[in-house]
Structure 1
Amino acid sequence: MRRRIAGLDVHTSLDDLAGRDVLLWHHGSPQTGAILAPVQAVADAHGLAVVSVARPAYAGSPRHPGRTVADVATGLVPVLDALGVASVVSVGASGGGPHALACAAAMPGLIRAVVTFASPAPFSGDDSWFERMRAPGGLWAAVEGEAARRRFAETDAFDAEQFVDVDFAALEGEWVSLGVDAAAAEAEGPDGLIDDDLAFTRPWGFDLAGVSASVVLVQGERDRVIPPAHARRLKAALPHATLDLHPADGHVSVLRHLGAALRR
């Protein structure tokens, strides 16, 4: 089901979610917010309905200039209230990770657990934050501001070396829908990705130390997009976090552990 709630483009796996336990999926950068087939399959296996919302400037959600990570979470409060869900597992992939954590800070009574996959950590303000990123150009530009990030977008091209062999295998197999959806998001323009990068490199608008929910940080040690050091920084900042490292995985293939992470 696709509908508009509180001005946002909302996808749900069921028409009526009142009283249901849900998996709130926070998509990567860029994505359209559509529910991906493997996410739906894992949620079904765990008796969870799925809610996925396009962040501002993606798909049918209007742009919110200057948005912070916390702003996105605040915007989801009326969505979940309107749907009447009972409880939420907040799950974020890559660029969705910070937003999954922000929801736990914004809605501590509703979010019972958080799972992130290859999430960036808050910007440290120094070069160490970029270490071992294969293609950090967009984030480097975002540090300089929106104008610089937009100039970068004019010549930005995907660097295939960001992904390792198991990432490409995942995109050709179980997670093929992720690649298709990312291409659809890219075709709609760069605004969502630009605003995500700007949000990641400015203060997030909430304190990680205030996240009371349990958090599982799933990270591939071969990740060249968001290196493992980011997961370790998050682990150090969160009071109830478990670090789940996978030596064989990269940025996309690590998503194959979604089912196991939900069982933790």
Structure 2
Amino acid sequence: MPDRMARAECAVIATALGPVEVALAEQGPPVLALHGGMGGFDQGLILAEAVLGGASAGRGAFRVVAPSRPGYLGTPLGAHLRPEAQADLHAALLDRLGLGPAVVIAVSAGGPSALAFARRHPGRCAGLVLVSTCTGRLDVPARVRARLPMLRAMSRVPGLLPLMAWLTARQPERAARASILDPEECRRTLADPEAGPLLRALQESVLRKAAARLPGTANDVAVFAGLPEHPQGPMGVPVLAVHGTGDRVVPFAHAERLKAADPSVELMAVPGGEHVCLLTHMAQMRERVRAFLARLPLA
């Protein structure tokens, strides 16, 4: 089990805009970790572990705030359909926790609400770290969309998804090859003492409580298809965007368009990197993130 998952405290917190399920880990400057599709607070903790590692930028630990976004696990979808409404809910959560400006780290489908948070609540956002994120209109690939009704049907069969999770744990390389095409890179990532356990935890988490992850995922797919293609700019806060040029889920063009809209955005292009480049190229990403965080005026 990844370190932050083992140390985290999880609860459903009542905010001014509604209940939010959130995991909290460690102390220090706050980091809001926003998960992607088929995610939840558990994947937010995996994201934080992958991006931050241990003591980032020599600052020691961070106060990781990993919510389940609306429609995921214990956070109801309610009226929080669009990124702007989700961003306001993120701000309400930080208010309820009494936390000051936070660094926001987002992956994949967490991108739109992270961007909206920075625009709508700039005084609450110390900076953005975007990893393989959607930044505008996204037509989800057919092979990815096809998994949703399949998972919905599988969730209705008692014991089937726990069995699938068990098989995934027993055959991690077979599961990982769906996300990492290169066999050698797949084996190297799974063998890494830090990236390997995180990748396995990520793979297994999708199949745990899958039915409770589907409403948020389906909402993301529907809403993202109607977003403007090009992001607004400039952002108004420091931004580091990490994106693989070989991403088959969220094309690299999403990072390029963000950079075009705001030339101040730092872009770390990962040559040939896929959607899980945060794990396949974790050491390089962490080094760039440490340098980025070192320049932020964190409390």
Cα distance between partner residues in 1 of 2:49 and 2:237: 23
Matched letter for residue 10 of structure 1: V
2:81 to 67, 70, 86: 67
After TM superposition, the runs of 4+ consecutive aligned structure 1 residues lying more than 6 A away are 156-159
Q: Post-superposition shift, 1:180?
A: 2.1
- Residue in 2 aligned with 1:237? 261
CA RMSD of aligned residues (A): 3.1
Q: Secondary structure at the match of 1:234?
A: helix
- The alpha-carbon deviation at position 249 of structure 1 amounts to 2.1
Q: State the Cα distance separating 1:73 from its structure 2 match.
A: 0.5
TM-score by length of 1: 0.78
Q: Residues of 1 paired with 2:213 and 2:99: CA distance?
A: 32
Q: Distance in 1 between matches of 2:186 and 2:211?
A: 22
**Compared with structure 1, are the counterparts of its residues 12 and 189 closer, same or farther at alpha carbon in structure 2 (3 Å cutoff)?**
closer
Equivalent pairs counted in the alignment come to 240
The residue correspondences of 1:150-189 to structure 2 (distance < 5 A) are: 153-155=148-150, 161=178, 163-165=180-182, 166=185, 170=189, 173-175=196-198, 176-188=200-212
- Separation in structure 2 between the aligned mates of residue 181 and residue 242 of structure 1, nearest angstrom: 31
Helix, strand or coil for the counterpart of 1:244?
strand
Unaligned regions of 5+ residues in structure 1, if any? 124-128, 140-150
* Residues 72/169 of structure 1: CA separation in 2 closer, same or farther (3 Å cut): farther
Kindly tell me: are residues 23 and 95 of structure 1, through their superposed partners in 2, closer, same or farther at Cα, counting changes over 3 Å?
same
In structure 2, runs of 5+ residues without a counterpart are 1-8, 153-174, 293-299
Matched, 1:87 2:101: yes
Q: Distance in 1 between matches of 2:213 and 2:49?
A: 26
Aligned twin of 1:223: 247
Give the partner amino acid of 1:217.
Answer: A
> Computing the radius of gyration over CA atoms, which structure comes out larger, 1 or 2?
2
- Please report how far the alpha carbon of residue 116 of structure 1 lies from its aligned counterpart in structure 2 after TM superposition: 0.7
Q: State the distance in 2 between where 1:197 and 1:57 align.
A: 12
Sequence identity, in percent?
26
- Of the three residues 22, 36, 39, the one matched with 1:31 is 39
1:225 aligned counterpart, secondary structure: coil
Please give the residue correspondences for 1:137-148 in structure 2 after superposition, counting only pairs within 5 Å.
none
Partner Cα distance (1:11, 1:58) in 2 = 13
Relative to structure 1, is the Cα distance of residues 216 and 13 closer, same or farther in structure 2, using a 3 angstrom cutoff?
same
8 Å contact kept, 1:28–1:96: yes
**C-alpha displacement at 1:224, in angstroms?**
1.4
- Letter of the 1:29 counterpart: G
Letter in 2 for 1:45: A
- Give the superposition deviation at 1:236: 1.2
* DSSP-derived class of the 1:109 partner: helix
Aligned to 1:52: 66
C-alpha distance in 1 between matches for 2:186 and 2:256 = 21
**Compared CA separation, residues 38 and 196, structure 1 to 2 (3 A):** closer
**Residue 168 to residue 96, structure 1, CA distance change in 2 (3 Å):** farther
1:142 corresponds in structure 2 to none
Cα pair distance change 1:168/1:183, threshold 3 Å: farther
Partner of residue 30, structure 2? 22
C-alpha distance 159-226 of structure 1, shift in aligned 2 (>3 A): farther
SS in 2 for 1:36: helix
1:112 alignment partner, one of 123, 126, 137:
126
Cα distance in 2 for partners of 1:91, 1:168 equals 27
